[in-house]
Amino acid sequence: MNEMSIGLPDVVLQGFDALGLGDRLTVNAAIREQHSHGEDTTTPVMPDAVVFAETTDDVVRTLTLCHQHGIAVTPFGAGTSLEGHVTPVRRGVSLDVSKMAAILEVNAEDMDCVIEPGVTRQQLNEYLRDQGLFFPVDPGSHCTIGGMCATRASGTNAVRYGTIRENVLGLEVVLADGRVIQTGGRTRKAANGYDLTRLFIGSEGTLGVITRIRLRLHGIPEAQSAAVCQFESLAACVETVIAVMQVGIPVARIELLDEVQMGACIAFSKLPDMQPIPTLFLEFDGTPASVREQAEQVEAIARDFGAASFAWATDAEARNRLWKARHDAYWAGIAMVPGSRGIATDVCVPISRLAEALLGAKEDIAASGLLAPMVGHVGDGNFHTVILVPPDQPDALERAWALDKKIVARGLALGGTCSGEHGIGLGKREFLETEHGAEALAVMRSLKTALDPKGIMNPGKIFRN
Amino acid sequence: MNEMSIGLPDVVLQGFDALGLGDRLTVNAAIREQHSHGEDTTTPVMPDAVVFAETTDDVVRTLTLCHQHGIAVTPFGAGTSLEGHVTPVRRGVSLDVSKMAAILEVNAEDMDCVIEPGVTRQQLNEYLRDQGLFFPVDPGSHCTIGGMCATRASGTNAVRYGTIRENVLGLEVVLADGRVIQTGGRTRKAANGYDLTRLFIGSEGTLGVITRIRLRLHGIPEAQSAAVCQFESLAACVETVIAVMQVGIPVARIELLDEVQMGACIAFSKLPDMQPIPTLFLEFDGTPASVREQAEQVEAIARDFGAASFAWATDAEARNRLWKARHDAYWAGIAMVPGSRGIATDVCVPISRLAEALLGAKEDIAASGLLAPMVGHVGDGNFHTVILVPPDQPDALERAWALDKKIVARGLALGGTCSGEHGIGLGKREFLETEHGAEALAVMRSLKTALDPKGIMNPGKIFRN
């Protein structure tokens, strides 16, 4: 165990020895390196050790020991965080729960299931398909559902099916000191005391480690269809979205890609029929009649706003190609500048302010001299720019952060939030007080202190200490 | 101020004098009596004084003073609680916010609004009607929306539109010590730190006083229709509900009334066309085509389960009569036994266990020798029995509580909760540890202690001290 002497005190090393975690505890440098960062541009920090938990009891024993000795614990899932969540800034233990990936229970008649936190959306939906059920929350990465709970994730389907917040019925959580609690329950609603489930959803690993999740499921819709709607101007594209939402058409997805992003996707995902102009990708779920009705309503609105084209993707293959291209948008953007890194902004605004927020961001991007393709879960008022940081420009990272701040500042001024779905982590902490006010932030800190008095759980995240 | 000497220490009386609340502070016995109970059977307790807050600042000043001197504060809205929430068991101040009833802001394009806590659903919907918007959460009483937030209320429309939890975007809350915080925001979603909004929703006045509420609104549906579907057997009625939910038909309301409740409603609300047999009241919202489609699907399912009749109520007047009758169901039940009081049970179970829960409750009622009409928001798995306590039977109250416990115990054994929507208050505290486990309850207590260290906020509610 020599390699562990880097950071953990001897007494902790002896404690881990006594736990008998065997291979589940490692100080291997390559594995520690993998656990030193997510998919963001934060400076990596190596943990002192990585624990691969396989059971709730592994988590309990690890936390109990770390709590006793004040060792920092950073939960780790698939490592897809875009805001530095999994970077163990105070070293200590990276607690990897990705091997806790069992689907424990599916209740088709109640449309719920119980899973371990390392299960991914893809894995779960593969498993559920034969039962006519699906889990809708789709952030578009190969993240774990535990990570989605921790960051209050959402994605393309949230406009219709809600975010992870609306799709979790209950949790098992191991608290900082090793106590295990069950939150929520099996019913669709309850008025039975404080909503602990919602307290842990979005707490970013700072209050405890999620070890089981009870999810709401949905019936696979009888009919689905998709469409691609292209516009000469971004303004017309956004106005179409606002009108669709205000009329109340229950679209399943309504995704915007600007002309830069469309250019990238056409090249990356081979979409020869599309133009590099502002575009909406749409999906409609329901009965055959309601899907037709929704799509006709949207087409009529889009035509009113001067849509250049409105093309159907009715067969499953065309639909899958479309959504695959949308999912790969981040990588298509990165591929525009070989070797670049991307900083993802995540502003969300009230729908009526979406045009201002988007068009303003476009101006800021133009002024920055950087390339930043834009995509948006625009039905929710949420959009991302991936600011590309070229490897050969020494000042580019600084300019990129300056651009990020400008886009966020405008979002906040428009009544929005700095984060629609990626979470705060390290990257958005500076905006939090502006957004909530000092007193609300103090309340959040007091909850943190109540549940994690020693501050061992994912320290440095959400709060600037 | 002589009458105040009943309870408040002189120093507090002097403090109130200095606040200059004028008529907004009263010790009038009749007013204190009004604030000694809700609509439940809890033994009334008179507060020492009642403050009628008219502004957030009134609330701030009252709480600051009470916090300083450790005086209990019990928030009061319309006084419609069914679980003893507004009974000031430790006397002190009843803080009535019902005069804070301004609609401060309506944003039609973002479909949100900001209101004060004393606004009722009826008042808000009256105000919104011209703008084509409505607020859907409908517990069926003349409660305030502040009270709905405090108890995590829901009601007949929740099956389609969600509970109050899903329809609140943010809050202004005055904490126990007088600090004011803003929670949530204007966006449809956010991943920006702990979900304080959801922490206060359902906290039953034990963590602070809600002084402003930002609500999500919905567009008034293009088409609406209602139907009444009657069954010879309760089992067939429940099986129909389960099938409708499992198929995923987005019914706007699906309400069950058993034969006892139907008998009461026919007499109370003059419904000559209906039979005193198990009945579903249904509502469908959407476009004309989707409303027709949903209703046809439901009728087909009901016929499969042997429905005795399926009658439409398409015109607005017939629909209003129907829902008025449903809203008055509680009073129709009480009217069956003149002078009686009612104990409302509020069990909610997973939908697959609804038949067992309902039919089991019917057996328990029969065995008790008491009369207890039954209604249910059955699409959510939630049902109420109003156990009638006749004035002339000395042991009836005890028998009623025994019956209540039996129905709750079965609900919990079926994976359910003791409260779908009424909250815990005084009446359901004993079930909470069974439901959540000791550790989760300890976490709730630690949150309470973090935000209200002196325990002045609605003491005695949720937790048994």
Compute the distance between CA of residue A135 and CA of residue A180 in angstroms, rounded to an integer. 26
Q: Is B223 helix (H, G, I), strand (E, B) or coil?
A: strand
Asked whether residue A247 falls in the same domain as residue A193, the answer is no
Task: Please indicate, yes or no, if residue A430 is contained in any of the structural domains.
Answer: no
Of A110, A203, A348, which has the smallest distance from its Cβ to B187's Cβ?
A348
Task: Please indicate, yes or no, if residue B3 is contained in any of the structural domains.
Answer: no
Contact between A187 and B151 using a beta-carbon 8 Å cutoff: no
For the whole model, what pTM was predicted? Answer: 0.96
Chain B residues closer than 8 Å to A291 by CB: none
Number of structural domains found in chain B: 3
Task: Please indicate, yes or no, if residue B184 is contained in any of the structural domains.
Answer: yes
Looking at this protein, which amino acid is placed at residue B369?
A: G
State whether residue B430 sits within 8 Å of chain A by CB: no
Task: Please indicate, yes or no, if residue B5 is contained in any of the structural domains.
Answer: no
How many residues can be counted in chain B?
Answer: 465
Asked whether residue B75 falls in the same domain as residue B112, the answer is no
Among B81, B96, B111, which residue terminates a domain? B96
Residue A141 confidence (pLDDT): 85
Give the gap in angstroms from C-alpha B450 to the nearest C-alpha of chain A: 6
State whether residue B273 sits within 8 Å of chain A by CB: no
In this structure, what token pair is assigned to residue B100?
A: 């804070």
State whether residue A296 sits within 8 Å of chain B by CB: no
Residue A5 confidence (pLDDT): 43
B410 close to B357: Cβ distance less than 8 angstroms: yes
Asked whether residue A27 falls in the same domain as residue A115, the answer is no
Asked whether residue A316 falls in the same domain as residue A393, the answer is yes
Asked whether residue A195 falls in the same domain as residue A228, the answer is no
Give the gap in angstroms from C-alpha B239 to the nearest C-alpha of chain A: 12
Q: Which of A134, A188, A291, A422 to mutate to test binding with chain B, by most B CBs within 10 Å of its CB?
A: A188
Compute the distance between CA of residue A116 and CA of residue A93 in angstroms, rounded to an integer. 20
Asked whether residue B268 falls in the same domain as residue B332, the answer is yes
Asked whether residue B375 falls in the same domain as residue B284, the answer is yes
Q: Distance of alpha carbon A460 from its chain centroid, rounded? A: 19
Contact between A420 and B190 using a beta-carbon 8 Å cutoff: yes
Mean pLDDT, rounded, for B62-66: 98
Mean pLDDT, rounded, for B183-198: 97
pLDDT in tens, B331-387: 999 999 999 999 999 999 999 999 999 999 999 999 999 999 999 999 999 999 999
Chain B residues closer than 8 Å to A165 by CB: 189, 195, 198
State whether residue B166 sits within 8 Å of chain A by CB: yes
Residue A6 confidence (pLDDT): 63
Asked whether residue A17 falls in the same domain as residue A40, the answer is yes
Asked whether residue B373 falls in the same domain as residue B231, the answer is yes
B290 vs A410, B204, B294, B374, CA distance in Å?
40, 38, 6, 31
- CATH code, A74: 3.30.43.10
State whether residue A300 sits within 8 Å of chain B by CB: no
State which residue of chain B sits closest to A194, comparing Cα positions.
B203
Tell whether the model's pLDDT for residue B303 goes beyond 50. yes
Q: Which residues contact A315 (CB under 8 A, 6 or more apart)?
A: none
Residue B318 confidence class, pLDDT cut points 50, 70, 90: confident
A186 close to B416: Cβ distance less than 8 angstroms: yes
Tell whether the model's pLDDT for residue B3 goes beyond 50. no
Tell me what percent of the residues of chain B surpass a pLDDT of 90: 91
Q: Smallest Cα–Cα separation from A205: which of A286, A303, A85?
A: A85
Contact between A436 and B193 using a beta-carbon 8 Å cutoff: yes
Q: Domain of residue A186: give its range.
A: 103-219
Asked whether residue A19 falls in the same domain as residue A90, the answer is yes
A102 phi, psi to nearest 5 deg: -90, 145
Among A75, A96, A117, which residue terminates a domain? A96
Task: Please indicate, yes or no, if residue B449 is contained in any of the structural domains.
Answer: no
Of B290, B349, B424, which has the smallest distance from its Cβ to A293's Cβ?
B290
Asked whether residue A163 falls in the same domain as residue A137, the answer is yes
Contact between A181 and B443 using a beta-carbon 8 Å cutoff: yes
Task: Please indicate, yes or no, if residue A442 is contained in any of the structural domains.
Answer: no
Strands of the B253-257 sheet, one edge to the other: B309-313, B223-230, B279-286, B253-257, B374-377, B382-389, B341-344
- CATH code, B232: 3.40.462.10
Task: Please indicate, yes or no, if residue B343 is contained in any of the structural domains.
Answer: yes
- CATH code, A120: 3.30.465.10
Contact between A202 and B186 using a beta-carbon 8 Å cutoff: no
Contact between A417 and B247 using a beta-carbon 8 Å cutoff: no
Among A66, A96, A126, which residue terminates a domain? A96
Task: Please indicate, yes or no, if residue B30 is contained in any of the structural domains.
Answer: yes
Asked whether residue B237 falls in the same domain as residue B343, the answer is yes
Of B182, B422, B441, which has the smallest distance from its Cβ to A191's Cβ?
B422
Hey, how many other C-beta atoms are within 10 angstroms of the C-beta on A405? Answer: 15
Compute the distance between CA of residue A7 and CA of residue A93 in angstroms, rounded to an integer. 10
Q: Which residues contact A205 (CB under 8 A, 6 or more apart)?
A: A74, A75, A85, A150, A457, A458, A461
Q: What is the mean pLDDT of each run of 10 residues along chain A (465 residues)?
A: 62 91 94 96 94 98 97 98 96 98 96 98 97 94 96 96 97 98 97 98 98 96 94 96 91 97 96 94 93 94 96 86 92 93 95 96 96 96 96 92 96 97 96 95 98 98 90
Compute the distance between CA of residue B395 and CA of residue B460 in angstroms, rounded to an integer. 26
Strand partners, B216: B112
